Amino acid sequence: MSDLQRAADELTEARTSGKPCPPLRGRLLPEGDVAAAYEVQQHQVRQWLAAGQRRVGAKIGLTSRAVQENLGVYEPDFGVLTDVMAVPDGAEVPIERLLQPRVEAEIAFVLGADLPDERVTSVDVIRAVDHLLPAIEIVDSRVAGWDISIVDTVADNASSGLFVLGTAPRRLADVDLRLCGMVLEHAGEPVSVGAGAACLGNPLHAVAWLATTMARAGEPLRAGDVVLSGALGPMVSVTPGAAYEARISGLGSVRTCFSRQAKGGSS
C-alpha cells in the first residue's frame, strides 16, 4: 500500500471513528508536496461519488489573511462539495457529525454557465454567475488539533465539513463584493467581522482563481455549481448547543445551530 493510500485511509478512518489522525506531512506526505496532497483528496472524492454522493460544487480555502495567519498557511486551496455536506438554513447540526468544527461566513456563487477555460478572468466569472447567497461554512479537520500545513488541509479536502446557504438569492450587480461588510454573531454578539476585501481583495478574484485551477486540473466548474468563495473574517470555534447567524450587507443573513451533545453521549 502506498503512502498516498495510507493517508487517504487515515483521513477516512478519522471521519468514520470521530478520532483525528496525526498530521500527514513529513510522515505519509512529503513536506510541501501539494500535488500529492491533491491526489489524496481526489482518491477520497472518488470514493464518495462511488458511494452515491453527488458533486454540487467546490470551496475555496485560505483566502483570508486572518485565516492564513491563524493556520500558518499562505496560499489558497480548494476542495469538493457534495450533496451530503449541505445543511438547510437554520437547521440543527448534530455535533457528532463533526470532529473539531469551526464556522466562518462567506459569499456563495451559484453558476449559471460553465467556466471551462484554463485562464478565467473576473469578467468571465461575472458572465457565468446566476446569483449569490450568504453562506456559513462549517469547516472541520480530521487532523488532530488543527495542526495543519497546506499539505494536510489539501489532502483533507480543504478541511471541509458542512455548508449552509441562505434562501434569498441576490443578483451580482446588486452587491458590492469588495466593500460588503460581514458580521457573524453568537447569541446576538459579534464573534467575527470582516468584508469582501478580506477574500483575496475581492471574492471575484477567488472564484476566478478557483475556476482557472480546476479547469487546468481537468475538473472545470459547471453550470449549477455552488462555489464557496472563502472566509470574509476569522474562523470561530463551535460551542456545542450554540446558534450562529451571519449577516452580509446586500445579501441578507443565514443561520445554523448545533446540538448540545452527541446522541447518547455527553457534551
pTM of the model: 0.94
**pLDDT computed for residue 123 by the predictor:** 97
C-alpha cell read off for 60: 475555496
- Average model confidence (pLDDT) across the chain: 94
Q: Which is higher by pLDDT, 265 or 138? A: 138
pLDDT tens readout for residues 21-38: 999 999 999 998 999 999
62 contacts 75 by C-beta, under 8 angstroms:
yes
Whether 263 shows a pLDDT value over 60: the answer reads no
3-state DSSP assignment of residue 7: helix
Band (84; pLDDT cuts 50, 70, 90): very high
Q: Which is higher by pLDDT, 103 or 66? A: 103
What is the C-alpha to C-alpha distance for residues 110 and 128, in angstroms, rounded to an integer?
9
pLDDT tens readout for residues 150-202: 999 999 999 999 999 999 999 999 999 999 999 999 999 999 999 999 998 99
Least confident interval from 69-73, 95-99, 261-265: 261-265
Q: What is the DSSP letter of 173?
A: G
pLDDT tens readout for residues 212-256: 999 999 999 999 999 999 999 999 999 999 999 999 999 999 999
What does the buried/exposed string (b/e) look like for 197-224 if buried means 16 or more CB atoms within 10 Å of the residue's CB?
ebbbebbbbbbbbbbbbbbeeeebbeee
- DSSP secondary structure letters along 103-117: EEEEEEEEESS-B--
Band (75; pLDDT cuts 50, 70, 90): confident
Domains of the chain: 3-258 (3.90.850.10)
